[in-house]
Amino acid sequence: MPLDVAQAAVAAIDVDALTKKFDAHTALHGISFTVPAGGTVALLGGNGAGKTTTISILLGLLLPTSGTVRVLGHDMLTARYSALPRMNFSSPYVDLPHRLTVRENLTVYGHLYGLTHLKDRIARMAEELDLTAILNRPSGNLSAGQKTRVALAKALLNDPELLLLDEPTASLDPDTADWVRGFLEQYRARTGATILLASHNMAEVERMCDGVLMMKGGRIVDRGTPADLLSRYGRDNLEEVFLDIARDRRQAAE
Ligand X SMILES: Nc1ncnc2c1ncn2[C@@H]1O[C@H](COP(=O)(O)OP(=O)(O)OP(=O)(O)O)[C@@H](O)[C@H]1O
Binding-site size, ligand X (CB under 6 A): 11
Instruction: For residue 51, state whether it binds ligand X (rule: CB under 6 A).
Output: yes
Sheet holding 66-71, edge to edge: 25-36, 11-22, 66-71, 74-75
Residue 189's CB is within 10 A of a number of other CB atoms, namely: 9
Q: Is the dihedral of CA 131, 137, 140, 145 positive or negative?
A: negative
Instruction: For residue 30, state whether it binds ligand X (rule: CB under 6 A).
Output: no
Q: How far is the CB of 50 from ligand X (least distance, A)?
A: 4
Instruction: For residue 50, state whether it binds ligand X (rule: CB under 6 A).
Output: yes
Q: How far is the CB of 243 from ligand X (least distance, A)?
A: 15
Instruction: For residue 39, state whether it binds ligand X (rule: CB under 6 A).
Output: no
**In this structure, what are the phi and psi dihedrals at residue 153, rounded to the nearest 5 degrees?**
-60, -45
Residue 254's CB is within 10 A of a number of other CB atoms, namely: 4
Q: How far is the CB of 229 from ligand X (least distance, A)?
A: 18
Q: Which residue among 11, 12, 15, 27 contacts ligand X (CB under 6 A)?
A: 27
Q: Which residue among 45, 64, 168, 211 contacts ligand X (CB under 6 A)?
A: 45
**What are the C-alpha distances in Å from 213 to residues 36, 86, 239?**
13, 23, 14
DSSP string, 92-122: TTSPPPSSSBHHHHHHHHHHHTT-SSHHHHH
Q: Which residue among 9, 25, 116, 236 contacts ligand X (CB under 6 A)?
A: 25
Q: Which residue among 41, 49, 131, 153 contacts ligand X (CB under 6 A)?
A: 49
Instruction: For residue 47, state whether it binds ligand X (rule: CB under 6 A).
Output: yes
Give me the residues that bind ligand X (CB under 6 A), please. Answer: 22, 25, 27, 45, 47-53
